[in-house]
Structure 1
Amino acid sequence: MDIPVIDLTPYVDATSGEFCLDGVLSPELEKVCLEVSRILRETGALLVKDPRCSAEDDDRFISMMEKYFEMPDEFKLLQARPDMHYQNGATPGGVEVPRSLAVKDMLEKAKALPKEHQPLIPTGADLKWRYMWRIGPRPSTTRFKDLNSEHIIPEGFPEWEEIMESWGYKLMSAVEAIAEMVAIGFGLPKDAFTSLLKNGPHLLSPTGSDLASHGKEGTVFAGYHYDLNFLTIHYRSKFPGLYIWLRNGKKVEVKVPEGCLLIQSGKQLEWVTAGDCMAGLHEVIVTKKTVDAIKAASEANRSLWRVSSTLFSAVASDDIMKPLGHYAQSPLADNYPPVYAGEYFQKELAVIKLNENKKEH
């Protein structure tokens, strides 16, 4: 299935780089916003072209992260912060447990799908490594300090901060643009979502999967799960293997066209729309196509780390999440009671074994 590409170029000022929707919505723009929300509602995913996010920027970022993930594990572990629930610095492989393993009914629902639409069932924690880097300003005061901590910079990477900040802010700009369009498409004020994202604990979170060590077909790098945050954005990966599930339960391989970004709906967006836009389910696995790409990269002497260019946008920790606007009258609204975004996040992290101090309620 081909997901349509939404081009943001007409709404980005070529000089300032600012995204701007007209004060008065034209019928054409309203149609685009309705299309954006329809696609996200039906598929949990969206393909976007944003002139501010270039392939050159992504290449520079990916090259640096390949070098980082190729470093010895002992070096990378120096940047791991289990006391901060791995929400800052490095997360080693074998730590995060896929939600489908941690939550019994999720696994049972997955096994009830038709065989061709079932996920690969992981046998343990995800093999992927990850690096968490906060993007944007933090709140001056917060009751969730562990979710809003300062940066960790690995030694020996002089361009680290500049590259992370530059690429992270560009990805965040694309997220904010889509958040405005989706709000309009869902019949809410234009700033309904972007106001919640202000000072949020957004994370530029490149994921590293070692294909040299774990390149066998059928290997699960990220088990069947949804994202905990608001909207997730990725640039195109060099190695295939990402699958998503549509609202109707159909499993689809994601093919991101060159120069495009993939946006996926997270649990926080589901919360504020009372389930109208469900969190998108997905997995990252080694397929036959991945094996072919590994062989080609090996022959060309390129890195065999599959690095995803991922950013997780999130509702500000001290904001209360609840169904917004007309969604408050939804018959499903009671399933999404008011909760501090930070409190919700800590509970979710406990389920996937990243926050052992908190128990799920």
Structure 2
Amino acid sequence: MQIPVIDLAPYLDFDGELGGGDKEELDLKLKIMCSEVSRTLRETGALLVKDPRCTAQDNDRFLDMMEKYFEMPDEFKRRQERPHLHYQVGVTPEGVEVPRSLVDEEMQEKLRAMPTEFQPSTPTGPDPKWRYMWRVGPRPSNTRFKELNSEPVIPEGFPEWRDTMDSWGNKMIAAIEAVAEMAAVGFGLQKGAFTSIMKQGPHLLAPTGSDLRHHGQIGTVFAGYHYDLNFLTIHGRSRFPGLNIWLRNGQKMEVKVPVGCLLIQTGKQIEWLTAGECIAGMHEVVVTDRTIDAIRLASEENRSLWRVSSTLFSHIASDAVLKPLGHFVDSPLASKYPPMCAGEFVEQELSAINLKGNKGDV
């Protein structure tokens, strides 16, 4: 199965009111596009989009800077580490984040029941990847979840840092918002059902850095099998392949992101809001044969051997309530998704993957 590429340009050019007014007058092509977006997210947990506001040049500028950062000595990078803020700003060193599949017994049972060819790679410990967390967009002046809305950390010697991070981050959030509106219409909700509760969310531009010079062996697991805890995740194209996703039917699939496209994945928060109509997509990042080919080519061309993902986690606002929306309240699965503050949900999830101490920990 191929994941379709949705060109957002016709939707962005449309100046009518999708999901409101006289539905008979809606542009048929856009209604079909919205249905395609919701169907693809439901069936695959992933979507490829082309957004004229997010260019390959924007992505390259960002990757160039992050390669330069991750190539810095470890002791320099550790100056941007903020464990007391649950690593939600600044750098997370390799060997900190624990894959969900290592700590979730229910998930481990499901993995053992999978057909062998669809089983994920088995991580042996915490992920050997670095990550940088950068808040994008306005923050609430009054919130119960201060540590999820902390001030950003800027490394010394990178004068272009704030502008590059904010520029690429805001462009990717704009793409997410368009997809969120289209998905809402496709799911039979009001156009702003998702975007209205995303306002001032703790959106995170969170690029990972994986050192292929030291961890470039076939089968190395950079990000063990897991789902994302946020609303929707968006990535620009990485210079090194290695991302596998699992479709809703359990099939494993290697993702190939075309140049100039963005990859969107469903997180746990959209699963909550749709009462499981759309489930959080499972995925992993592993060194594959295609990664090895890309390493060889980059070595020949004297390019960086850090695999950078330009990942952005879009979130529901921390103080907003996560609960099934609209007609999803009547879903037979709605009771599995009780109302709770999005910030409370995030804190629970962070505890499970070792980024936030359990209650009672110092």
Residue identity (%): 69
Q: For the structure 1 residues 21 and 229, does the alpha-carbon distance in structure 2 shift closer, same or farther, using more than 3 Å as the test?
A: farther
Query: Residues 2-151 of structure 1 correspond to what in structure 2 (within 5 A)?
Result: 2-13=2-13, 20=15, 22-23=17-18, 25-151=26-152
Gaps of 5+ in 2: none
CA distance in 1, matches of 2:146, 2:43: 36
Q: Does 1:158 align with 2:121?
A: no
CA distance in 1, matches of 2:216, 2:179: 35
Give the C-alpha shift of residue 97 in structure 1: 0.3
Gaps of 5+ in 1: 14-18
CA distance in 1, matches of 2:284, 2:324: 27
CA distance in 2, matches of 1:226, 1:273: 16
Query: Residues 1-361 of structure 1 correspond to what in structure 2 (within 5 A)?
Result: 1-13=1-13, 20=15, 22-23=17-18, 25-358=26-359
Give the C-alpha shift of residue 21 in structure 1: 5.2
Corresponding residue for residue 16 of structure 1: none
The residue type paired with residue 11 of structure 1 is Y
Give the C-alpha shift of residue 209 in structure 1: 0.5
Residue by residue over 1:160-209, the C-alpha shift from the partner in whole angstroms, topping out at 9 and shown as x without a partner, is 00000111000000000000000000000000000110000000011101
CA distance in 2, matches of 1:105, 1:138: 35
Give the C-alpha shift of residue 257 in structure 1: 1.1
The residue type paired with residue 106 of structure 2 is D
Confirm or deny: 8 A CA contact 1:41 1:276 kept in the other structure.
Answer: yes
CA distance in 2, matches of 1:269, 1:217: 33
CA distance in 2, matches of 1:354, 1:139: 23
Q: Which stretch shows the higher mean deviation, 195-204 or 105-114?
A: 105-114
* Alignment: residue pair count: 355
CA distance in 1, matches of 2:11, 2:359: 43
CA distance in 2, matches of 1:338, 1:99: 23
SS for the counterpart of 1:213 is: helix
CA distance in 2, matches of 1:337, 1:349: 19
Q: For the structure 1 residues 21 and 153, does the alpha-carbon distance in structure 2 shift closer, same or farther, using more than 3 Å as the test?
A: farther
Give the C-alpha shift of residue 358 in structure 1: 3.7
Confirm or deny: 8 A CA contact 1:11 1:21 kept in the other structure.
Answer: no
CA distance in 2, matches of 1:100, 1:358: 22
Root-mean-square deviation (CA, aligned residues, Å) is 1.3
The residue type paired with residue 175 of structure 1 is I
Confirm or deny: 8 A CA contact 1:234 1:309 kept in the other structure.
Answer: yes
Off by >4 Å, runs of 4+ in structure 1: none
Residue by residue over 1:290-337, the C-alpha shift from the partner in whole angstroms, topping out at 9 and shown as x without a partner, is 111111101110000000011100000000100001111111111000
SS for the counterpart of 1:11 is: helix
Confirm or deny: 8 A CA contact 1:234 1:263 kept in the other structure.
Answer: yes
Confirm or deny: 8 A CA contact 2:11 2:30 kept in the other structure.
Answer: no
User: What TM-score, normalized to structure 2?
Assistant: 0.96
The residue type paired with residue 211 of structure 1 is L
CA distance in 2, matches of 1:211, 1:152: 26
Confirm or deny: 8 A CA contact 2:80 2:90 kept in the other structure.
Answer: yes
Give the C-alpha shift of residue 142 in structure 1: 0.3
SS for the counterpart of 1:12 is: helix
Q: For the structure 1 residues 216 and 50, does the alpha-carbon distance in structure 2 shift closer, same or farther, using more than 3 Å as the test?
A: same
User: What TM-score, normalized to structure 1?
Assistant: 0.96
Confirm or deny: 8 A CA contact 2:12 2:178 kept in the other structure.
Answer: no
The residue type paired with residue 217 of structure 1 is I
CA distance in 2, matches of 1:358, 1:319: 23
